[in-house]
Structures are given as structure tokens and as C-alpha cells.
Structure 1
């Protein structure tokens, strides 16, 4: 059975590593090292078979999980975690989804990622890049249930308005950040 072609995006949490080469700061998939291009959707392809990705009977596709706390061990020094919108063919998986197309909609950088790199990522991808006050694993260890619930709100509200910086999404992000390190300064 083929994956359904959804009329709307689903949103899930995923991680990226950051490449800071001559082409500027860019997001890379941590396993495949595939570039998530700035300003355009990343499209999945299957390296295991000759079919369109994702296929229900395969492991191909762009991955995202429903629960942020599942990623704590995958986030490394200087990496980025965030919500990605997935659309087109989407397969529901045990912990989230695998999609045909994807694009980041909000990012959270580990503390080791330099401010200049965060600013470059924000400019290149057109999304907010928030700085975490401590490694994700440390934050989740403090109150896994509360962080998970707030992260679910961010993910769900992002799914309802993936194409815009909706006020309710910014409020959910602010709630998540306030829970893990106090209120984020508002820009004028």
C-alpha cells in the first residue's frame, strides 16, 4: 500500500547538524548528511529501492517524531532541534512520521552553537532560531513531562499554521522557552 498524499502538513520534531562551510550555514540530516536547502523544500528519495519516498514497506523518507523528548540522545554539541513540516506522501511511523517533502518551521540551537551561526541560519531559512540555555538532555531530565507537553503544543500549533509566523505559535514557543529557562526577551 502506498503512503497517503495528505492535503495539509504534519509537524514533527527532528534534529540537524550544522554545516558552516564556504556556502554558509546550512542544515544537514545527521544520518544521511543530506542538505536541507534554504528557501526550498527538501524532497526525500529512496536509497534502498526503486520507488517514490516514503513507501510504507521501506525505511525511506524525511523523519520527524511526535515527542521532542525522544530526541535527547540524538542532539549533540552544536546541533539543532526543531519542528519540521512534512507534506506530500506521509507515512505514520511508530514514533512520528516519514514524509515526502519537508521544511523547518522553528529551530532550537544547542548552547554551543555560536550566535553568529544561529543568526545566519535564521536569515537563510527564514525561521526563528532560539538558543537553548543548556543541552536538551539536561533540560528534559529536569521535568520530562512538562517539557514534552509544552513541546507538543509548539508542534501542534505549528502544524495548524506552518506557512506563517502565527501569534499563537509564537506564544507556544515562548511558553516552552519560559519553562526551560525563563522568559525570552521580546524584540521591539
Structure 2
């Protein structure tokens, strides 16, 4: 089998020349690229994003989903999630809440499968996180963040860029492992 070499984590993430008048979806996707240091995590995000757009286009047909699919055929998962939430008629805070829940439920489900934990107990713990997840989603959507997805009026460069080098290193090790348990 032929493998495509993965660029090092220090490789530039830009796909367009600086200062270009790129499609807003491409610009937003580049902002996510710049905030995702690990090539393995970028690949996983794009796989999940592509699959989410594919499903969302069937469930909630929308010109916004079509625009994203044309501009960025393999969008990052956070971009796809925001657009899918918009197509479903939810608010930005609903989309942020879905993202926050996804961030904790995925690892919790993996822990149940890998460690044989009691699923009811684990999901009870997740339910107890409701106040924290609500607070995180509210903080992610301060007043005035109701811009249409992909609009030029949004200030994408102001998006947070939190880092977790330990998780980046684990993702890279997992990508090179002989046995891979999960994509993300």
C-alpha cells in the first residue's frame, strides 16, 4: 500500500497566499487548521467534518451546507458542526453546546468501551456536567455573535486557540501505531 507522508506539526497550515480574497468558508477552515497543531488531529477533524456535512445535507438540505461543501469538500469538524447546526435552525449557543457535549461524550464513550466501565454511571457523570457545558457554550457565544455562518463580518482570527501539546503528541503516536482504536 502507498502511504502519503504526514507533514510535520511545524509545517505551514496555509493553503492560500496571505492576503488573498478567499471564500469565507476557506478562510474559516484555515483558521481551524491554524489552531490544530497535530496533523493526525487535522486529518481526523476533516474526516469527521466531511461525514457530518454529508449526513447534514440529507437531513437538513440547505444552501449554506451546499456552499460549504463546494468551497471546502473536507471541512474541519467544528466548521461542519456550526453549519449543520445553522441548517437545522439552531442558535450559535446550541451549536456550541453540541460541540462541548461532543468534546466530553466521545472520550467518555471510549472509556466505557475500552475500560469496561458502567455506561449508566459514566453517562450519569456526563449529565452532571450540564451546568459546566452550558457555561462553556454561553462563553463561546457572547452577545453579538449571531453572524451568518461564513459571513465576512465575523472576526475569525479572534477565535480562541487553546493548546494541549500532550494530546497532540498522543494523537501523533496513535496515528503511527500498528493498531488504531479510533480516528480521533
User: What TM-score comes out, normalization by structure 1 length?
Assistant: 0.25
Could you say which structure has the greater relative contact order, defined with CA pairs below 8 angstroms and 6 or more residues apart? 2
User: What TM-score comes out, normalization by structure 2 length?
Assistant: 0.25
Answer with 1 or 2: which has the greater Rg: 2
More helix by share: 2
